[in-house]
Structure 1
Amino acid sequence: MLKAGFVSLGCAKNLVDTEVMLGILADNDIQITDDPHAADILIVNTCGFIDSAKEESIATIIQMADFKRDGKCRGVIVAGCLGQRYQQDLLDELPEVSAIVGTGAWPRIMEAVDAVLAGERVLLIGETDIIYDETMRRITTTPSYSAYVKIAEGCSNCCSYCVIPLVRGSYRSRPVESIVSEVKKLAEQGVKEINLIAQDTTSYGRDRYGKPQLALLLKELVKIEGIVWIRLLYCYPKYFNDELIELIANEPKICKYIDLPLQHAHDEILSAMNRRDTRIEIERLLGKIRAAIPGVVIRTSFIVGFPGETESHFESLKQFVLEQKFERVGVFIYSQEEDTPAGNLEQQIPDSVKDERYHELMALQCQISEDLNRDMEGKMLDVLIEGYNPEQPDVAFGRSYREAPDVDGRIYVEGAASLPLGELVPAEIVQGFTYDLLAERK
């Protein structure tokens, strides 16, 4: 039996594409292996969003190509955003690559495999207008109790710094029925936590139903037996409406956790980014969310060093972060991307200044995070057990509703020996640190 190895880079949205491609390979009697030495075919699902992601993708491709010499690998296939974006150039400049499968061609992954096995080099791109559905086999790579579900593909917001519309196409929502059917299947497999993802989850339904329908979708998903947590990620603030806030506040299954990328807090920079919110509108939304949803955790992200960002703009962003005291913040250094409006702007910021602003904002958020985590001491949380420290088998680690998988800190639970992974246990927080919490099982 032929064996294929897979490396998935970038975001959770890319991971779902990987899992669907794994399903296609399995349906064609190809065995999936974690050992690259044993793989006949190695597939790298790449990210091409910013410079650091592109560099990681290229390095991984070259690393996997070494197994053509040191293993049984007969070819390396590049899938995902990097291949979609650079296409023939990538094939020409990397002789190690046997085939490229763009974001619009992942259903043709077997065509690429067959070509490589026949000794051919192929470029498969296709139109960026496809999206998987519930009828397709999907091999989840996340823990058995947690899964990502992509509710839409592409993006139509056209932020001036972003290449996503170029490589993923315009926004297109899946039907409610398709998503509900998929989540039911996952629940039957033992999944407890559903993480809803898209480039912009709050825009869900606008293209298909004429208006945002995320609340409608959630009302159907909470009915599904076996699902304990439903988490909302990548929520664009423009369509985060009152109906959605009320639903999160009153529905126990929906995590009181909102991932709300804001990108900046000064109106001039927001406008240059082609973001459709002003600072006053953002502050008003944050106030409504916190007033309506006690215990809510808000995660956001910011870009520093955007072209034209002055010291005054940056100071305004710092003041905003200090005032809002977000529970979770990710900071990204602006990456000048070709084929984007922002990439052509003058007043590009020197790398040294961007680095300095990154570290300064992160240091500010670190202190805020530590203070907020110390405020958690003495409070009770249900913790989803995810693993153990081999050197301290009595100490488990996991997450509560306050932590999203892969991006947030951990809760370490003392007195939790022998609990099965995926079990929810009550625990009291005894100590808060910058990113993690220490708790005792109750």
Structure 2
Amino acid sequence: MKVAFVSLGCAKNLVNTEQMMALVRQAGHTVAGEAAGADVAVLNTCGFIDSAKSEAIQNILELAALKDEGKLKKLLVTGCLSQRYQKELVEELPEVDGVLGTGSYTEIVSALEEVMAGGRPFRFGDIDHTQEDGARLVSTPPYTAYLKIAEGCDNRCAYCVIPSLRGRYRSRTMESLLAEARTLAESGVKELIVIAQDITRYGTDIYGKRMLGQLLRELCRLDFHWVRLHYLYPDEVDESLIDVIASERKIVKYIDIPLQHINDGILKAMNRRSTKAEILALLARLRARLPGLVLRTSLICGLPGEGEAEFEELCAFLRTAGIERAGIFQFSPEEGTPAAAMEGQVDPAVAERRVELLVDLQSRVMDAWNERRLGETLEVLCEGFDPEMGCYAGRCYADSPDVDGKVFFTAGGLVAAGSFVPVRITGVSDGDLTGEIEE
């Protein structure tokens, strides 16, 4: 059987796709590079907000078109969209031949065999007890890989459906994570990206205390060059964790710390546990302890109750805090969440305009940071030659894959993808940096 995989959404979802690919290959089947010509296409979806749902539906329709053309035999849909809209997916999209929920990834092989035999698998296992260990067929470039240290979430933010799709927070054991990390290091991975919905709570469920700092110390003993962290929730970042980040050379001084807002009333309505004063104090401590720190955050515009005063407070925060990287999102009233039923819903057109204003403000903050890099020499992870730009492309410590910018640079000779090189920054261009390799 030839099986093609399409993975949408976040890096955590990509890890699940990689686990399914490994199971398929272990069963003796072929993992195809493209859906056209495959027996089955497996679409691993995101279903977090409206834009993600739209992207998933569009991909289903595109794969269905391949079926109509005789270029694909079956279509199996997995992931968050499946978990969230179980019956609707089957009833409203007859093109779909089977669905697996987020608790049934490990059933992929038997589901594929069932669908090829003419069945229509419909499997939804326990989302609170999933198998997170096991082999992966890593699909990222050979020098970069993700390490998912936990699944699920207990934060219960008022706007978020993730706990209902991914279950309660559950850490993987330290032993399993270090074994997987060793395998990744031995395979040549140089940039390890530690991920979970909330990495700061790692270990609290199985060890009774926060263990992220100890895990990071162990990971830094392995043969990685960079260790990158996604995502740290502000209310769980303590001094001991800051000590680890400050003292471990391999941990890049880049922290993705979702704040979502700064106004106390909106934070409370979101069911976030930090106040404005606590957030400002934390950012000040991080800046003081971690010279050169680059912060990434996510912010939501248009939550019910956000008036002009609350929005202006958010704008003022961005102007003064100097957050170097930010994803700005429009509030999406997701059914089943407390926020969707709140009074004081903001007109979507108003929320959209606020997003545009924040994006413009944030771009100026990012441009100013980039301009301050002129004349500096940065260590850059080369990702290969970019034929469109006519030069090499890579990332410095301040750039996480897929969400941040690039460093485009020239070199007098060949530069291998996956190598770290010194690049003197000579220019800025639309959020990216340009430069030349320093021989």
* Pair in the same fold by TM > 0.5: yes
SS of 1:275's equivalent in the other structure is coil
Which residue number corresponds to residue 393 of structure 2?
Answer: 397
Return closer, same or farther for 1:416/1:55 CA change in 2, 3 Å cut-off: farther
Match of 2:347 among 347, 350, 356: 350
Residue by residue over 1:82-120, the C-alpha shift from the partner in whole angstroms, topping out at 9 and shown as x without a partner, is 001111221111100011010000000112111111111
Task: Please tell me whether residue 438 in structure 1 is matched to residue 428 in structure 2.
Answer: no
Task: Quote the offset at 1:433 in angstroms.
Answer: 3.6
Deviation, 1:35, is 2.2
SS where residue 438 of structure 1 aligns?
strand
Letter in 2 for 1:210: G
The structure 2 residue matched to 1:206, chosen from 195, 204, 207, is 204
2:323 aligned to which of 302, 323, 326: 326
Aligned to 1:40: 39
Q: Give the direction of change, closer, same or farther, for the CA distance of 1:252–1:72 in structure 2 (3 Å limit).
A: same
Deviations 1:335-385 (A, max 9, x none): 000111111112111111011000000000111111110001111111100
Length-normalised TM-score, structure 2: 0.98
Equivalent residues of 1:238, 1:277 under 8 A apart: yes
User: 2:160 matched to 1:171?
Assistant: no
Q: CA deviation at 1:132?
A: 4.2
Please list every run of 5 or more consecutive structure 1 residues that lacks an aligned counterpart in the other structure: none
Count of aligned residue pairs for this structure pair: 438
Q: Work out whether 1:272 is the aligned partner of 2:266.
A: no
Q: In structure 2, give the amino acid aligned to 1:183.
A: A
| Deviating 4+ runs (over 6 angstroms) | none
**Aligned counterparts of 1:92 and 1:417: Cα–Cα separation in 2:** 57
Q: What's the CA shift string for 1:303-351, capped at 9, x where partnerless?
A: 0011111010000000001010111011001100011111111211111
Cα offsets for 1:17-41 (capped at 9, x unmatched)? 0000000111111111122221100
Where in structure 2 are the equivalents of 1:145-224 lying within 5 Å?
145-224=143-222
Higher alpha-carbon deviation: 64-73 or 16-25: 64-73
The one-letter code of the counterpart of 1:218 is L
Secondary structure of residue in 2 paired with 1:361:
helix
> Matched residues, percent identical?
46
**Root-mean-square deviation (Å):** 1.1
User: 2:297, 2:326 within 8 Å by CA — same for their partners in 1?
Assistant: yes
TM-superposed deviation, 1:417: 4.2
Distance, in Å, in 2 between the alignment partners of 1:133 and 1:392 is: 40
Asked if the contact 1:331–1:361 (Cα under 8 Å) also holds between the matched residues in 2, the reply is yes
Structure 1 residue aligned with 2:418, among 422, 425, 437? 422
1:232 equivalenced with 2:245 (yes/no): no
Any idea what SS the aligned residue of 2:164 has?
helix
User: Mapping of 1:36-435 within 5 angstroms?
Assistant: 36-134=35-133, 136-224=134-222, 226-391=223-388, 393=390, 395-415=391-411, 417-435=413-431
Call closer, same or farther: CA 1:145–1:312 in 2, change over 3 Å. same
Q: Is the 8 A contact 1:192 1:227 kept in 2?
A: yes
Q: Per the alignment, in what secondary structure is the counterpart of residue 422 of structure 2?
A: strand
Change (3 A) 1:289 1:416: farther
| Paired amino acid for 1:344 | A
Distance 2:372 2:156 in 1: 39
Give the counterpart letter for 1:115 in structure 2.
E
* Stretches of structure 2 lacking an aligned partner (at least 5 in a row): none
Change (3 A) 1:210 1:168: same
Distance 2:99 2:30 in 1: 21
Letter aligned with residue 220 of structure 2: V
Amino acid at match of 2:190: K
1:389 deviates by 2.2
Looking at structure 1, the residues matched to 194 and 434 of structure 2 have their Cα atoms a distance apart, in angstroms, of 28
**Which range is displaced more, 232-241 or 275-284?**
232-241
- Residue 286 of structure 2: SS of its match in structure 1? helix
